[in-house]
Amino acid sequence: MKISNSEAWFARAQEHIPGGVNSPVRAFRGVGGVPLFIARGEGSRIFDIDGNSYIDYVGSWGPLILGHRPPFVTDALREVIECGTSFGAPTAREVEMAELLTKIVPSMEMVRLVNSGTEATMSALRVARGFTGRDLTIKFEGCYHGHVDSLLVKAGSGMATLGIADTAGVPAGFANTTIALPYNSIAAAERAFAEYDDKIAAVIVEPVVGNMGCVPPAPGFLEALRALTARHGAVLIFDEVMTGFRVSFGGAQERFKIQPDMSTFGKIIGGGLPLAAYGGRADIMKKIAPLGPVYQAGTLSGNPLAVAAGLAMLKYLLAHPEVYETLEARSAQLTAWTPPGVTINRVGSMFTFFFTDRPVTDWESAKRSDTGKFAKFFHFMLERGVYLAPSQFEAGFVSAAHTEDDIRHTVEAAREFFDRPV
């Protein structure tokens, strides 16, 4: 039997790359089989190295809100590459990006550009600790904030897929600075503040979780976090790496009308290239070197290629608010039919099909999902040209490039799966 090109390349990859991949969920461990090696993307589709085409609902894990290779992004990259790729010195585009971000997101009075979501959350926490003079952080079970040592406590995403509760390699002293609480539990947050009060530097939260699957905030939950942190002098950090410019143009904080003290952004602000940012109130951000004593640096931070792509993306979204109407319509079309034994969660253009018939509101309810049945569903859809996230515990993403025919084909394929004789 002839093996596919993806199988051949995966065999080669495993010789020199741990698990054959450079990020764990790509390995298909949550669904079985061999990961696809992708050759190119176009609009709503990706094409593997065997020439197969798939409707893509991963979208590079969220940033490709307009689909693959929007012409204005590739044009911006062609223009800037003629000037240089990295200088390790300030550029005008960095200032433009900071001005644009602070214009769109009112809670961010000042902003610092970095290279990844992990770097953004790590830096935001350091600044929050430096600002408050406190050490403890509250996070929520199933929320993933990058592979920051102190935040890999009951994290979601790839750790949930691989069944890793708490990663090896993190000193107990780091983990002990983190209090992990059930997502959507106001009572748990109140108890934590009652017990630790002036030791808590920050609360960090995905305002819409995307890393145990898509889980929206319960009514009043984010409002309660805002009130508790304000009352106790802690910093409220919204991790909007996934939700920023996705669930609405101004992110989850615009959608839910709540202003955090600090925010982290990534994904969409890079237009498909590695770029992230953290920012917030000016009095907090002025603690960062060279203004203040909290050190953070990066040779490639704000590099011209990523910033040019991100500026092109954000300026397009600013000029075309109808994109969000299209995203809402396509996402509603995709999730209008609920299969038997499945719970669908959706916020804007983020969604997850949970293989459980009970509501999913936190990590405990998410992990009741039938991961074996999800794996069968994943491969069934893949055979019909639909590429979903290869894990029950990851959100899917609709892009403005998805057509009504794309959505119709996806729904018809899903119906076929559930209509089969058991």
Report which residue type is found at 227.
A
Residues with Cβ within 8 Å of residue 409, at least 6 apart in sequence: 55, 384, 385, 386
The partner residues of 294 in beta bridges, in order of sequence, read 288
DSSP-based three-state secondary structure for 92: helix
CA distance readout (Å), 366 to 113, 164, 211, 354, 395: 33, 15, 11, 7, 12
Is 267 a catalytic site residue? yes
Closest CA to 99 of 88, 107, 110: 110
My answer on whether omega of the bond before 290 falls inside 30° of 0, hence cis, is yes
Q: Would you say the C-alpha torsion 407, 410, 414, 415 has a positive or negative sign?
A: positive
Residue pair 233/196 in contact by the 8 Å Cβ criterion:
no
Catalytic residue, chosen from 144, 278, 324, 387, is 144
Structure tokens given for 148: 């920051």
Cβ(252)–Cβ(238) under 8 Å?
yes
Q: Extract the tokens encoding 308.
A: 């040019």
Residue 144 Cα to chain centre, angstroms: 8
Instruction: Give residue for tokens 């979780």.
Output: 209
CA angle 101, 103, 109 (to 5 degrees): 75
Q: Catalytic annotation on 295?
A: no
**DSSP states along 139-202:** EETT----S-GGG-BS--HHHHHHT-SB-TT--HHHHTTEEEE-TT-HHHHHHHHHHHGGGEEE
Where are any strands of DSSP class E within 304-374?
Answer: 343-347, 350-354
Please say if 370 is a catalytic residue.
no
Annotated catalytic residue within 267, 362, 387, 406: 267
Give me the residue label for tokens 């802690």: 234
Q: Which two tokens stand for residue 154?
A: 């009951």
Residue 392, amino acid:
Q
Beta bridge partners of 50: none
Pairing assessment for the beta strands 262-265 and 235-240 based on DSSP bridges? parallel
Catalytic: which of 48, 239, 261, 406?
239
Task: Please identify every residue annotated as catalytic.
Answer: 144, 239, 267
